[in-house]
């Protein structure tokens, strides 16, 4: 959530910056400014009434002592009128605060200066590429056919049990999935992240804190009777661990990692781009989250990007890193880097990670603060998160890129976790 004082003091800058996200903030910013003018007028009037009431309170006793009963009673009546007026003004003041807050939460985070302009994924900037694209036989298969051939994943059985987008992993497919999860968690632990095992459902306050609500409620599975939401990512419960918390500056950065199942109702198109593992409603992901000092959050972002890059390098996947344009960024992000890996069986790039700096946007909602040594007033922290990594498309690319006439070769780093080096 944007800082209210910043909006008030920089209305034109807020409107201009949000144009890069293709968001017209002019009406909301104008309404906030108008409401605050009204609020200031109410405050002036309330202060005048309180001053008059205090003056009358001092005079009433003196009037009684002087025997001026009628004047004293008249002053008491005026004091009662002023109390009622002040109460009404306080109510009006609170209503304006509520209206301002409702407008404030509708504003997306401001994009960082380096965010490129653009409206669609085609406008994203490729900032780095790595790895070699494998040369496959003409008989290469996409991962959904490989999964069927080697009995790794049953998509039809998932439809029977739940519906499209809920695959069933079997045998070596299950072990391969578990191997990736453990590999990612071990790598995160080695990088200094503390592992968390979070709940898979959160309440409204948690969804609001990280910006999923009210922006993305249509993408979340809602348990109506209990008013809980299945998590779209472990980012939500892990970041909310620090809601309403004041950290010591010496504790920063706080580094957490978590594996979880993730649930997303997002509707997709039909065809090759969403076949097999390309788009699911339930999938597994290892997330990394950091709470950072505002002065160092962009250094932390680069560190997190480097961590994800090492993962795809160790898996031997060809990859590219994209800096997202304003129109392709999330509501909450100030700067996001996406990782895509090349899936040779489909001959297309697949997104496998997003690494984002939210600056103070989430922390402002969460009331997540830190206090410098010797300072009384706490400051708002910065939050960051990244997929490290999301499994479905990683699995898709590994199956396709490593297919051979003898079977699917398991990357060397996963062999100790799998217990086998070939899927056949």
For position 89, which CATH number holds? 1.10.287.40
List the domain range (segments joined by +) for residue 59: 4-104
Q: Judge if the upstream peptide bond of residue 253 is cis by omega within 30 degrees of 0.
A: yes
For helices 26-65 and 69-104, give the axis angle rounded to 10 degrees: 160
217 pLDDT above the threshold of 90:
no
Whole-angstrom CA distances from 196 to 189, 200, 216, 283, 288 are 11, 12, 24, 18, 10
Q: CA–CA separation, 235 vs 245, rounded Å?
A: 17
Q: Mean pLDDT lowest for which of 32-36, 238-242, 420-424?
A: 32-36
181 pLDDT above the threshold of 90:
yes
Residues 6+ apart with CB under 8 A from 200: 230, 231, 260, 261, 263
Report pLDDT for 385: 98
Residue 339: inside a domain: yes
Burial class (CB in 10 A: 0-12, 13-18, 19+), 22: middle
Beta-bridge partner residues of 194: 256
Residue 343: inside a domain: yes
Report pLDDT for 71: 87
Say whether both 99 and 136 belong to one domain: no
- pTM of the complete model: 0.92
Q: Which residues are annotated as a binding site for L-serine?
A: 233, 264, 287, 385
Report pLDDT for 205: 97
272: pLDDT confidence band, cut at 50, 70 and 90? Answer: low
69 pLDDT above the threshold of 90:
no
- 274-290 residue pLDDT tens: 899 999 999 999 999 99
Q: Which residues are annotated as a binding site?
A: 233, 264-266, 287, 351-354, 385
56 pLDDT above the threshold of 80:
yes
Report pLDDT for 338: 98
CATH of residue 351: 3.30.930.10
Q: Which residues are annotated as a binding site for ATP?
A: 264-266, 351-354
Residue 268: inside a domain: yes
Put residue 151 in one of left, alpha, beta given phi > 0 → left and psi -120 to 50 → alpha. Answer: left
Report pLDDT for 293: 98
Say whether both 286 and 315 belong to one domain: yes
319: pLDDT confidence band, cut at 50, 70 and 90? Answer: very high
User: Which is it for strands 254-263 and 246-248: parallel, antiparallel or unpaired?
Assistant: unpaired
Q: CB count, 10 Å around CB of 84?
A: 10
Residue 116: inside a domain: no
pLDDT above 70 as % of the chain: 98
């Amino acid at each position: 959530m944007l800082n209210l004082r910043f909006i008030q003091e920089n209305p034109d800058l807020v409107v201009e910056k949000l144009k890069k996200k293709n968001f017209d903030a002019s009406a909301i910013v104008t309404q906030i400014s108008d409401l605050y003018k009204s609020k200031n007028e109410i405050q002036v009037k309330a202060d005048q009434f309180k001053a008059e009431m205090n003056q009358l309170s001092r005079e009433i006793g003196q009037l009684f002592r002087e025997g001026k009963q009628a004047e004293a009673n008249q002053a008491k009546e005026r004091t009662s009128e002023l109390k009622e007026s002040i109460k009404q003004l306080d109510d009006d003041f609170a209503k304006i605060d509520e209206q301002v807050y409702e407008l404030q939460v509708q504003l997306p985070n401001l994009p960082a200066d380096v965010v490129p302009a653009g409206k669609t994924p085609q406008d994203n900037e490729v900032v780095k590429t790595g790895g070699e694209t494998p040369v496959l036989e003409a008989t290469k298969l996409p991962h959904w056919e490989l999964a069927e051939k080697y009995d790794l994943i049953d998509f039809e059985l998932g439809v029977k049990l739940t519906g499209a987008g809920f695959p069933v992993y079997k045998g070596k497919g299950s072990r391969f999935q578990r191997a990736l999860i453990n590999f990612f968690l071990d790598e995160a632990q080695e990088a200094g992240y503390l592992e968390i095992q979070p709940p898979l459902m959160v309440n409204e306050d948690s969804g609001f804190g990280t910006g999923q609500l009210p922006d993305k409620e249509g993408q979340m599975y809602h348990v109506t009777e209990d008013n809980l939401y299945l998590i779209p990512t472990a980012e939500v419960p892990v970041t909310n661990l620090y809601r309403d918390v004041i950290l010591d500056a010496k504790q920063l950065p706080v580094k957490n990692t978590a594996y979880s199942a993730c649930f997303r109702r997002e509707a997709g198109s039909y065809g090759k781009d969403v076949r097999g593992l390309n788009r699911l409603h339930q999938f597994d992901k290892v997330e990394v989250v950091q709470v950072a000092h505002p002065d160092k959050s962009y250094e932390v972002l680069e560190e997190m990007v480097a961590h994800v890059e090492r993962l795809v390098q160790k898996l031997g996947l060809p990859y590219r890193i994209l800096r997202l344009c304003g129109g392709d960024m999330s509501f909450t992000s100030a700067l996001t880097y996406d990782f895509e890996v090349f899936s040779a069986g489909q001959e297309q790039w697949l997104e496998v990670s997003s690494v984002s700096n939210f600056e103070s946007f989430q922390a402002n909602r969460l009331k997540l603060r830190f206090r410098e040594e010797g300072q009384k007033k706490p400051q708002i922290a910065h939050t960051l998160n990244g997929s490290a990594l999301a499994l479905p498309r990683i699995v898709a690319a590994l199956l396709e890129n490593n297919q051979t006439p003898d079977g699917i070769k398991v990357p060397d780093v996963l062999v100790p976790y799998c217990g086998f080096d070939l899927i056949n």
